Structure 1
Amino acid sequence: MLSRLSISNYALINKLQVNFHTNLNTVTGETGAGKSIILGALSLILGNRADLSVLKEKDKKCIVEGQFEVSNYSVKRFFETYDLDYDPSTILRREITPSGKSRAFINDTPVNLKVMRELGLQLIDIHSQHQNLELSNQKFQLNLVDSVAGTKDALTKYKAQFSAYKNTRKALDQLKENAEQAQADLDYFQFQYTQLEEASLEETEQEDLELELEQLNHAEEIKTALSETVTLLDSETFSVLQSVKDGHRTLEKVTSYLKDTESLAGRLQSAAIELSDIHQELEMLAERVEFNPARIEEVNDRLNLLYSLQQKHHVTTVAELIALREEFDQKINKAVGYDDEIEALKGKLDVQKADLEKLALSLSKTRQKAFKKIESSVIGDLNQLGMNNAKLQVVHSYLEDFQPEGKDEISFLFSANSDSDPDEISKIASGGEMSRLMLAIKNLLRNSKALPTIVFDEIDTGVSGEIALKMGTIIKSFSTNTQIINITHLPQVAAKGDMHFSVFKHEENGKTYTSIKALDAEGRVEELAKMVGGEKLTETTIKAAEELLRI
């Protein structure tokens, strides 16, 4: 339960602190006094977002702090999950700095808003006036059924399987799309691959052909150079080769007289042998080199093919063309291999779909078991609230397609009169009927979710007289095991509180502030009397107030 709420520098609030009763707390005040401002501040420690506009004094920070007694509630696991210090008297604090920075704390440990909101939702349920409109919302109705039916674990399993199923279906759709695209591109891939394959590419051939073409284009120049060198080495008029041989023989004649000439003679002999080998190789080369126009054309054709392919595919080497050929080959294989992948994924999807169908059916059966409980509980409370002919039907249909929450479509049909058939709530319920219906549903949720604290923000809108008294009695019964903070304009409802708070505006140094105070017995009579008959107190209104407190 919320034992204390402290607010400073928020909107019209300078500084205030409220210590709440464990059971029913009544909050009253004139329209515009600031009751909604206090609720807005409370929402900050429940994880709602805020901006600089909440700061009353722009150079000071806003602080909202709530103290909750949580020893009787199952929240220890939450603290363990987020590695937070557990304290039976837990404090949630929110700060908004002048720079716009927001900070959140649980027991003085900094947390993000998501964590604060997760804990806040386990501690407080705030019912605001606009929530009555949610009665016609099918998502709200489905969530109500789930709360009563206790489907949390089953729904978690379903959602996990639904996510896996959806991911597989998405992957299958993408694979089919890829397969269609690949099939459309198959002819293109096949043509490119065939052209490259028929080219019989070899990685180093371009360099070899370019060198050969150079030689063929300079064949006459090469042959002339070779022939001239052969002639220089061994011509009829002068032979270098013969001269070296003669020199060798001449030196040999004197080696017995001059030992130093032995090595020189040997070197001349080696030179003669080397020159003889060079002469022979030059002759053979000269014989092989010839001007061959046919071969030049052949090499040019081959090189032109390679250059054309490189230009076409925006590459510069044969190695890159070979890599492209392999890439096209892989794409062709993949294009024709999609069928196996698609069939495998279809099989996986079928298994997931069957499992999902089982989970959806189980979830649906659990939900349907709660329908009668919802109908009887709500109708029972509506009867107590003077709606003796009220009818509520939970209508269900099983959808063909899976949805994030299952395959159930649920809608609530309502009628307040015996002579009219149940219809959609938004079409048939008046404002007062909406309020009573929501109170009955909140009672049902309270028993299902066991919330420590419920805040009713004028849930009694649209009712009066005897019905207001009955609504007050029901709200009072809620508070026997749930802390209630009830904001109301009805004296019949306000009189039921165990503690009564008045919200009011006042001026100080030319500035307007919102404050709240706990009323003593005399102050409470006065407040109720004003709610009955206006600002001017009379003996009649005071007696009416006293009577309300005795009922």
Structure 2
Amino acid sequence: MLSRIYIKNFALIDALDVSLHNGLQVITGETGAGKSIILGALRLILGERADLKSIAKAEEKSVVETEFQLDNQFKKFFIENDLDYEHQTIIRREILPSGKSRAFINDVPVTLDVLRTLSSQLIDIHSQFETSNLFTPEYQFKIIDGLSENKVLIEEYQQNFAEFQSFKTLLKKLQTQLSESTKEGDYKQFLLNELEELSLDDIDYEELQNQLSVQENAGMISENLAQILSRFHEEEIGILSFFNEAKNKLSKIAEVSQAFSELDQRLEESFVEIKDIIAELEDESENIEIDPEHLQKLSQLDSRLNMMFLKHNVQNLQGLKEIRDQIAGEQQGSAELEQQIAHTESQIQKKEKSLQTLAEKLSKNRKKNIPVFVKKAEDLLKKLGLEKAKVDIDLQLANEYNLFGKENIQLLFQANSGFPLRPIQTAISGGERSRVMLAVKKIIAESDMLPTLILDEIDTGVSGKVAEEIGNLMREMSADMQLIVISHLAQVAAKGNNNYKVVKEDVNGKTQSKIIVLSDQEKLNEIAQLLSGSRITEAALAQAKELIG
């Protein structure tokens, strides 16, 4: 319930602070007094766009603050949005002189999306010019689902529908990824095969280069080794003979002079080392083999590797391995994509079965309650002066699942007898819209907990008995909800549990709007004035008393 409205520095309002109550709250006032300004301020609470022109004093901020009495059903919203739940919750909107606006829930800054989500569950503002939502499938489903007590069922369906849509979106994304991957798949597989054929993990690149160098220079190596070994082994001037002779002579000197012992030892060691070197050279000489076939294989492998280096723009064998692993991963990713697609398609099928079951239950409940809606609506419209009006709801099977099931809806209407029912948006006149909407709101109020409903002059253009019935209807609606009505009808004002009047006055040469809480006597005078005009007559007072009853 909306329990308080505070407005500061907004249009013609310097400061306004009014408390509201449960039941029927009626606001009256002359045209142009500022009733629409109050509604405009409340629309800021609903998250509508803030206009810098609304600031009366340009150097000060504009503030609209509302206080609501909430029950525990809203706790979940506060928890999900990391807000402190308060039974008395304050929603505030500020427009700064810079033009920026800020929103707060219980003094915690929030985004406009969060503000809208909460306030849309608390206030429903409807004016005589706002009946277009009656023409929307969403609103028409809301009417019949309320009567059909489909609230829990529609919530379950819409949860499944959201998941169904999410899976369909995911499937489309995966299929796109697979399609793009498939376009390059054959070429990438060719590259992968090309790299895998090289057996990169078995190649020692340095050893390959060494073997290739040896094979390419085998003749030169063999020739030089032969010459080296020949020098060592020549009998007359060979190095071994020379070393052996020198070693023997130095040994004799060392026997007689201790000073040469160390040199003798060193020469001995060198002689042993040279013999080892010669032995290894002889082994290597024997191993050197000119193998044209092996050389060709080594050359071909080296050429293929160099070609791969250039092709993949890498500098070494490790770079090729990384490219190979990357392509292998991508190819594996394609296989995983196919698995994900299969799994997602399976989930879609499961969700579709759930949707089918729930949609059939929704449809069954709706069709069962269409006659209930027709009778209620036509009875209310007769009271509201549309004695010949006929209504119906047409449900047709849809090609695809939508947010409300697998059917399309049309609210049908005809104000005059003898003519066929037509979709309401093409059949209803301007004078009938408000009364039809009021009847619909009454039906919804009976079957669903509506938020605070604010009706702005939707009773315009009626009088007499119809006006009396509108007042009675609003009083009935307010028994189960808070109903705030802006009206020019005495018959409606007379039914108010609490009455308020918006007036304009001159304060220090500046026009300002304010709202006055009417006492019982002031309410009587206001109703009489609505009946007789600016001059209140005794007859008008008597009629006002009769209306109040």
Structure 1, 36-45 or 180-189: larger mean CA deviation = 180-189
CA contact (8 A) 2:309 2:320 kept: yes
Which residue in 1 is equivalent to 2:14?
Answer: 14
Q: CA deviation at 1:527?
A: 4.6
Q: Provide the secondary structure at the position in 1 that maps to 2:129.
A: helix
1:547 pairs with 534, 543, 549, which one? Answer: 543
Q: Cα 1:77–1:193, aligned 2, differ >3 Å: closer, same or farther?
A: closer
Does the 8 Å contact 1:27/1:485 carry over to 2?
yes
Q: Please report how far the alpha carbon of residue 471 of structure 1 lies from its aligned counterpart in structure 2 after TM superposition.
A: 1.3
Check if 1:277 corresponds to 2:276.
yes
CA RMSD of aligned residues (A): 3.6
SS at match of 2:385: coil
Task: Quote how far apart the aligned CAs of 1:470 are.
Answer: 2.0
Amino acid at match of 2:486: I
Alignment of 1:401-420 (within 5 A): 401-420=400-419
Deviation at 1:437, TM superposition (A): 1.0
Conservation of the 8 A alpha-carbon contact between 2:532 and 2:540: no
> 36-45 or 447-456: which moved more?
447-456
Identify which range, 277-286 or 306-315, moves more after superposition.
277-286
Given that residues 94 and 105 in structure 1 are in contact (C-alpha distance below 8 angstroms), is that contact kept between their aligned partners in structure 2? no
SS in 2 for 1:410: strand
**In the TM superposition, what is the alpha-carbon distance from 1:7 to its structure 2 partner?**
1.4
Q: Give the whole-Å Cα distance in 1 for the aligned partners of 2:483 and 2:41.
A: 18
Moved more, 457-466 or 284-293: 284-293
Aligned-partner residue type, residue 349 of structure 1: I
Which position in structure 2 is the counterpart of 1:354?
Answer: 353
Q: Which moved more, 1:222-231 or 1:271-280?
A: 222-231
**Structure 1's 32 and 293: CA in aligned 2 closer, same or farther, altered over 3 A?**
same
Answer yes or no: is the 8 Å Cα contact 1:525–1:546 preserved in 2.
no
Q: Which amino acid aligns with 1:9?
A: N
Q: Secondary structure at the match of 1:433?
A: helix
Contact 2:445–2:480 under 8 Å retained in 1: no
**For residues 246-395 of structure 1, what are the structure 2 equivalents within 5 Å?**
246-253=245-252, 255-259=254-258, 261-262=260-261, 264-285=263-284, 299-325=298-324, 328=327, 342-395=341-394
For residues 66-145 of structure 1, the aligned pairs below 5 Å read 66-70=66-70, 84-87=84-87, 89-99=88-98, 100-106=100-106, 108=107, 113-145=112-144
1:105 alignment partner AA: I
**Count of matched residue pairs:** 545
Deviation at 1:283, TM superposition (A): 4.6
C-alpha separation between the residues in 2 aligned to 1:428 and 1:183? 55
Q: Which residue of 1 aligns with 2:53?
A: 53
Structure 2 CA distance for partners of 1:311 and 1:357, relative to 1, 3 Å: same
Q: Deviations over 1:365-423 (max 9, x none)?
A: 33334323322222221122222222111111232311123213222111222222221
Once the two structures are TM-superposed, the CA of residue 251 in structure 1 deviates from its matched residue by 3.6
Q: Does the 8 Å CA contact 1:96/1:103 hold for their aligned counterparts?
A: no
- Provide closer, same or farther for how the CA distance between residues 105 and 165 of structure 1 changes in structure 2, counting only shifts above 3 A: closer
Change in Cα spacing, 1:332 to 1:528, as seen in structure 2 (3 Å) is closer
d(CA) in 2 for partners of 1:497 and 1:391? 30
Structure 1 CA distance, aligned partners of 2:194 and 2:105? 70
Unaligned runs of 5+ residues in structure 2 are none
Pair 1:324–1:152, CA change in 2 (3 A): same
SS where residue 442 of structure 1 aligns?
helix
Following the alignment from structure 1 to structure 2, what is the Cα–Cα distance between the partners of residues 397 and 335?
Answer: 42
Aligned mates of 1:377, 1:94 — CA distance in 2: 40
What amino acid maps onto 2:264 in structure 1? A
**1:365 to 1:308, Cα distance in 2 relative to 1, 3 A:** same
1:471 aligns to what? 470
Deviations 1:172-200 (CA, angstroms, capped at 9, x unpaired): 44444455555554442443344334445
| 1:29 match | 29
CA distance in 2, matches of 1:182, 1:121: 45
Cα deviation, residue 457, structure 1? 0.5
Distance 1:329 1:121, change over 3 A: closer
Question: Quick one: distance in 1 between partners of 2:454 and 2:248?
Answer: 128
Q: How many angstroms does 1:131 deviate by?
A: 2.8
For 1:497 and 1:427, the matched residues in 2 are separated by 35
Matched-pair contact (CA < 8 Å) for 1:503–1:515: yes
Structure 1: tracts of 5 or more residues without a match? none
Cα distance in structure 1, aligned partners of 2:47 and 2:180: 48
Give matches, 1:128-167, under 5 Å.
128-167=127-166
In the TM superposition, what is the alpha-carbon distance from 1:76 to its structure 2 partner?
6.0
Which secondary structure state, in structure 2, belongs to the residue aligned with residue 252 of structure 1?
A: helix
SS class of match (1:359): helix
Percentage identity across paired residues of the two chains: 34
Q: Amino acid of the residue matched to residue 432 of structure 1?
A: G
With structure 1 as the length reference, what TM-score do the two structures score?
A: 0.85
Contact persistence 2:494–2:544 (CA under 8 A):
yes
What is the CA deviation profile of residues 498-524 of structure 1, one whole-angstrom value per residue up to 9, with x for unaligned ones? 443332333334433222223456655
Alpha-carbon distance in structure 2 between the residues aligned to 1:182 and 1:489: 69
Amino acid paired to 2:59: D
Is the Cα contact below 8 Å between 1:65 and 1:91 reproduced in 2? Answer: yes
**Residue deviations 1:408-447, cap 9 Å, x none?**
3222111222222221112222222211111111111222
1:272-317 residue CA offsets vs partner (Å, 9 max, x unmatched): 2221222343355456668888876664443222222222233333
Other structure's SS at 1:389 match: coil
Indicate how the Cα distance of structure 1 residues 330 and 464 shifts in structure 2: closer, same or farther if over 3 A, else same. same
- Map 1:520-539 → 2, pairs under 5 A: 520=519, 524=523, 527-528=526-527, 531-532=530-531, 535=534, 537=535, 539=537
Q: Which residue matches 1:447?
A: 446
Matched residue SS, 1:513:
strand
- The corresponding residue for 2:63 is 63
One-letter amino acid of the counterpart of residue 194, structure 2: Q
Preserved contact between residue 68 and residue 89 of structure 2 (Cα < 8 Å):
yes
- The SS at the match of 1:130 is coil
Deviations 1:458-492 (A, max 9, x none): 11133233322221222233334433221123344
Q: Given that residues 529 and 540 in structure 2 are in contact (C-alpha distance below 8 angstroms), is that contact kept between their aligned partners in structure 1?
A: no
Mapped to 2, the partners of 1:316 and 1:76 lie a distance apart of 63
**Residue aligned with 2:396, SS:** strand
**1:108-257 correspondence runs (5 A):** 108=107, 113-201=112-200, 204-215=203-214, 222=221, 226=225, 229-230=228-229, 233-235=232-234, 238-253=237-252, 255-257=254-256
| 1:170 alignment partner AA | T
Residues 7 and 41 in structure 2, CA contact (< 8 A), matched pair in contact too: yes
